[in-house]
């Protein structure tokens, strides 16, 4: 492949990730639905249920790409919020992503949905462009496995959260249940790159995405890394037979 996946050095990872998401940005949302048969919507709904966004809060969605988590969080806050002002949810959401092309697609979606109150900010999860203690909640969905130094990203999450702030990470997990493993591997390594090739014209980007799931730490190890970054009450919940894990923690 032109990326040479098996030999890619960690230092090249940021450039590779940029290339992957530049390439798929325009068709990213369609691909999510096709590849997961729509199930990514349920995984994201579980994240929003655990997050319980409330009016008056400030939420930071890192690696937020085309804004999916932001839109869902705003809708949930609106449902939970003050019925006298149904069109003015006071949840303030900032989407931060390293890829300007993904953000551009997200900002266009926000505009077409009339969600003018989401900020789209270009920045790196490892060095967030925000002051200390500025958010009530931090989310990262299907993003952290693309980050080069995961521990640096977790420390940054801790830094930008206010005391009492909640941290949530939704990510594919390498710990699928043994009964599913053979079929899952076949689907991941054969079907996903082919589907990606047809829909986005870039099979190699989808090979990279599958490979990055295999390299991501198992849920217990990742939970320990979250604790090491300073978070308390670290919890993990496996979903869809271990295909996805939702981790949570609190900055006390």
Residue 33 vs 185, nearer CB to ligand SAM: 33
- For 110-158, the three-class secondary structure string (H helix, E strand, C coil) is HHHCCCCCEEEEECECCECCCCCCCEEEEEEECCHHHCCCHHHHHHHHH
Residues in the chain, overall count: 252
* Near ligand SAM in 10-29, by CB under 6 A: 17, 21
Check residue 138 for interaction with ligand SAM (CB under 6 A): no
* Near ligand SAM in 56-75, by CB under 6 A: 62-65, 68-69
Residues 72-111, one symbol each (x = binds ligand SAM by CB under 6 A, - = not), give -------------------------xxx--x---------
For the record, the structure tokens of 104 come out as: 């551009």
Q: Which residues contribute to the annotated binding site for S-adenosyl-L-methionine? A: 66, 97, 124-125
Q: What are phi and psi of 128, to 5 degrees?
A: -70, 140
For the record, the structure tokens of 204 come out as: 């190699």
Q: Using CA atoms, how far apart are residues 225 and 231, in angstroms rounded to an integer?
A: 9
Check residue 124 for interaction with ligand SAM (CB under 6 A): yes
Check residue 155 for interaction with ligand SAM (CB under 6 A): no
Check residue 146 for interaction with ligand SAM (CB under 6 A): yes
Q: What are phi and psi of 149, to 5 degrees?
A: -115, 95
Site residues (CB under 6 A) for ligand SAM? 17, 21, 62-65, 68-69, 97-99, 102, 124-126, 141-143, 146-147
């Amino acid at each position: 492949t032109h990326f040479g996946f098996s030999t890619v050095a960690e230092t090249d990872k940021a450039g590779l990730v940029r290339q992957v998401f530049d390439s798929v940005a325009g068709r990213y949302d369609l691909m999510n639905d096709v590849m997961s048969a729509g199930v990514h919507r349920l995984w994201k709904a579980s994240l929003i249920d655990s997050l319980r966004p409330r009016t008056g809060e400030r939420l930071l969605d890192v690696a937020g790409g085309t804004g999916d988590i932001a839109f869902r969080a705003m809708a949930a806050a609106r449902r939970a919020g003050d019925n006298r002002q149904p069109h003015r949810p006071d949840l303030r959401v900032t989407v931060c992503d390293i890829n300007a092309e993904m953000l551009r697609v997200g900002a266009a979606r926000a505009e077409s949905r009339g969600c003018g109150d989401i900020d789209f900010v270009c920045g790196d999860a490892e060095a967030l462009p925000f002051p200390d203690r500025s958010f009530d909640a931090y989310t990262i969905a299907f993003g952290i496995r693309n980050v080069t130094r995961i521990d640096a990203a977790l420390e940054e999450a801790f830094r930008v959260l206010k005391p009492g702030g909640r941290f949530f990470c939704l990510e594919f997990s390498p710990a699928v249940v043994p009964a599913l493993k053979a079929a899952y591997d076949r689907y991941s390594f054969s079907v996903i790159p082919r589907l990606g090739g047809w829909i986005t014209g870039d099979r190699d980007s989808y090979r990279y995405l599958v490979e990055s799931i295999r390299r991501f730490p198992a849920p217990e190890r990742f939970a320990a890394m979250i604790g090491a970054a300073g978070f308390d009450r670290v919890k993990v919940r496996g979903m869809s037979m271990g295909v996805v894990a939702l981790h949570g923690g609190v900055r006390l």
